Amino acid sequence: MEIAIILIVAYILGSIPSGLWVGKLFYKKDIRDYGSGNLGATNTFRTLGKKAGIVVTLLDILKGTAATIIPLLTGLPDIMLIAGVIAVIGHIFPVFAGFRGGKAVATSSGVVLGYAPLLFVLVVLVFLITLKLSKYVSLSSMAAALFGILYCIIFTDDLFLTIIVGVMAAFIVIRHKSNISRIRDKTEPKITWM
């Protein structure tokens, strides 16, 4: 019963649509009506600006981290990663936003932060380096996700972490399918601030 409650809480945390709520509360905008129509941090940056984008990124990371840490705090460390993945699913299919959510990048990284902080730092570095070189947020997100899998395979003996990182990376790549097409067609928007 306790496990079920934790997983429900994890899903609810993941379902918090940070971009939607920040947009509506502070900017009187529904970010789903602008840009890519996505609820994630990237569309928040494009639609509402840098300050809102940073806030939404941090909130989306923290909800993944919180969902991952709750089992540890309640004496059930074996389900930390499961709770984290449930939060990611909540972010992708949020009950509070008609089951149309973000692309899971920030929330997935929050899960990694809660379970393997060193990997989180490395993934963020790969993201930032790729972003500096390519100017594509989507490509940087996928590169960071794929790096996470490679790191787990090569440098850890934690099979479950490797599987979960693989699942989250698959979510990220699948959710960026349209971005891959736009990158190939050279129609994907590039950032201008880095």
Q: Which residue has the tokens 């981290």?
A: 65
Average pLDDT for 175-181? 92
What would the mean pLDDT of 61-86 be, rounded to a whole number? Answer: 97
DSSP label at residue 191? P
What are the residue ranges spanned by the domains of the chain? 2-184
Locate 28 and state its tokens.
């009187």
User: Can you tell me the distance from the alpha carbon of 192 to that of 168, in angstroms, rounded to the nearest whole number?
Assistant: 28
Q: What is the pLDDT of residues 20-47, one digit of tens each?
A: 999 999 999 999 998 888 888 888 998 8
CA 164 to the chain's CA centroid: 14
Q: What is the pLDDT of residues 80-103, one digit of tens each?
A: 999 999 999 999 999 999 999 999
> CB neighbours of 33 closer than 8 A, spacing ≥ 6?
none
Provide the b/e sequence for 155-174 (b: ≥16 CB within 10 Å): eeeeeebbebbbbbbebbbe
pLDDT band at 194 (very low <50, low <70, confident <90, very high): confident
Separation CA 130–CA 63 (nearest Å) = 25
Take residue 95 and report the two structure tokens written for it. 């009950």
Question: How far, CA to CA in Å, does 99 sit from each of 17, 88, 140, 167, 181?
Answer: 10, 12, 25, 19, 24
Query: If pLDDT is split at 50, 70 and 90, which confidence band does 193 have?
Result: confident
Write down the pLDDT at residue 143. 97
Residue 3 has pLDDT above 80, yes or no: yes
Is this structure's pTM higher than 0.85? yes
